[in-house]
């Protein structure tokens, strides 16, 4: 095998890897964007109908679909420009090297303790709150226009920020690692038609940020004191304190730790089968 052949193989592997990476990030971000999912379904449906019309020699519908296929991409770019921009922004916000700070076990336990202590207080007193925890995807877009805090995460500070008379009460808090980065953050609300109309702006904003990024959004209802968590484009509503804590702990675990635990459980099942 010559040096030229080896170099040709390397370039082909790099080429294929880059294509797969591109498709992976596009599909990953489309999955969490309701409108983009509808666009993809519509395009697939049109292509299927076009294929059927070609097989059955349906001239009229085939001619119409040819015009749609020819001018469709341009129409999609113009009509759905905001959604396409959101997907590209989501890809740009992804930190390829992982989180800005990987918390130790002790730091994670302290973060969970402080958040849960604040959540219990807010729930008991029916004080509305929206707390967003950054993970791999940067939230700098929302941090920049918000009120900067840059303080250690503590339960009393969260309680003070969301106190009804506080000027930052209606906005969201963003947590990076074990520090509160900003308060009064404003997030885009979800346009998901399946979300209950009874849910207010906080819940829609929490789901909106969970659809656009991989952040964890924690919500306390001001009217009922009910707890919710939005993550991976899904809103988990009316959780008990124990359910809330378990989800928070699981979502804060680093990916490597999750894979390690999964491997251990598989090994344990294998030993039991023996």
Tell me the pLDDT tens digit for each residue of 107-143. 899 999 999 999 999 999 999 999 999 988 888 889 9
**Residue found by looking up tokens 């990916």 in the block:** 255
Bridge partners of 37, per DSSP, are none
pLDDT at 273: 45
Rounded CA separation 157/5 (Å): 62
Write down the pLDDT at residue 65: 79
Q: What pLDDT was estimated at residue 34?
A: 61
The more confidently predicted of residues 155 and 12 is: 155
Q: What predicted TM-score, i.e. pTM, was given to this entire model? A: 0.64
Which part of the chain has CATH 3.40.1700.10?
Answer: 105-257
| Domain spanning 105-257: CATH 3.40.1700.10 | yes
Structure tokens at 69: 């296929």
Q: Which pLDDT belongs to residue 267?
A: 52
148 or 59, higher pLDDT: 148
CA dihedral 261, 263, 266, 270 (to 10 degrees): -130
Mean pLDDT of 168-184: 92
Among 22, 206, 179, 13, smallest CA distance to 103 is for 179
The span from the CA of 253 to the CA of 238, in Å, is 23
pLDDT tens by residue, 78-88: 766 666 666 66
- For 124, half-sphere exposure in the C-beta direction (CA atoms, 13 angstrom radius) is 7
Give the contacts of 49 (CB within 8 A, at least 6 positions apart). Answer: 61, 65
């Amino acid at each position: 095998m010559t040096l030229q052949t080896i170099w040709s193989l390397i370039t082909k592997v790099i080429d294929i890897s880059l294509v797969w990476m591109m498709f992976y990030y596009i599909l990953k971000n489309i999955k969490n964007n309701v409108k983009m999912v509808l666009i993809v379904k519509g395009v697939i449906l049109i292509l299927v109908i076009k294929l059927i019309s070609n097989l059955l020699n349906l001239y009229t519908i085939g001619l119409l679909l040819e015009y749609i296929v020819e001018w469709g991409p341009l129409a999609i770019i113009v009509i759905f420009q905001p959604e396409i921009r959101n997907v590209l922004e989501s890809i740009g916000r992804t930190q390829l090297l992982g989180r800005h700070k990987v918390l130790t076990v002790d730091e994670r336990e302290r973060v969970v303790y402080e958040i849960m202590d604040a959540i219990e207080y807010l729930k008991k007193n029916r004080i509305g709150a929206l707390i967003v925890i950054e993970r791999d995807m940067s939230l700098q877009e929302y941090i920049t226009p918000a009120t900067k805090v840059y303080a250690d995460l503590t339960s009393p500070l969260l309680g003070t920020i969301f106190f009804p008379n506080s000027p930052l009460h209606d906005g969201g808090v963003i947590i990076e690692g074990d520090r509160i980065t900003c308060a009064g953050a404003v997030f885009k609300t979800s346009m998901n038609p399946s979300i209950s109309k009874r849910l207010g702006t906080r819940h829609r904003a929490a789901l909106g940020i969970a659809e656009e990024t991989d952040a964890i959004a924690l919500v306390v209802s001001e009217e009922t004191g009910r707890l919710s968590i939005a993550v991976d484009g899904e809103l988990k509503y009316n959780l008990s304190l124990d359910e809330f804590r378990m989800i928070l702990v699981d979502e804060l675990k680093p990916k490597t730790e999750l894979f390690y635990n999964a491997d251990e459980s598989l090994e344990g099942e294998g030993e039991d089968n023996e």
